Amino acid sequence: LGVSNNASAQGDIGIDNLRNFYTKKDFVDLKDVKDNDTPIANQLQFSNESYDLISESKDFNKFSNFKGKKLDVFGISYNGQCNTKYIYGGVTATNEYL
The answer to whether residues 72 and 31 touch, using CB atoms and an 8 Å cutoff, is yes
Phi and psi for 48 in degrees, rounded to 5?
Answer: -135, -170
Q: For the domain with range 26-93, which CATH number is right: 2.70.210.12, 2.40.50.110, 3.10.450.50, 3.90.25.10?
A: 2.40.50.110
Domain boundaries, the chain: 26-93
pTM for the complete prediction? 0.60
How far is it, in rounded angstroms, from Cα 94 to Cα 22?
Answer: 22
Query: What's the pLDDT tens digit per position in 55-92?
Result: 888 887 877 788 888 888 887 777 777 777 777 777 77
Look at residue 40 in the predicted model and tell me its pLDDT.
84
Query: What's the pLDDT tens digit per position in 6-41?
Result: 444 455 566 666 676 667 677 778 888 888 888 888
Closest by Cα among 43, 41, 52 to 91: 43
Please tell me which residue, 5 or 30, carries the higher pLDDT value: 30
Look at residue 63 in the predicted model and tell me its pLDDT.
78
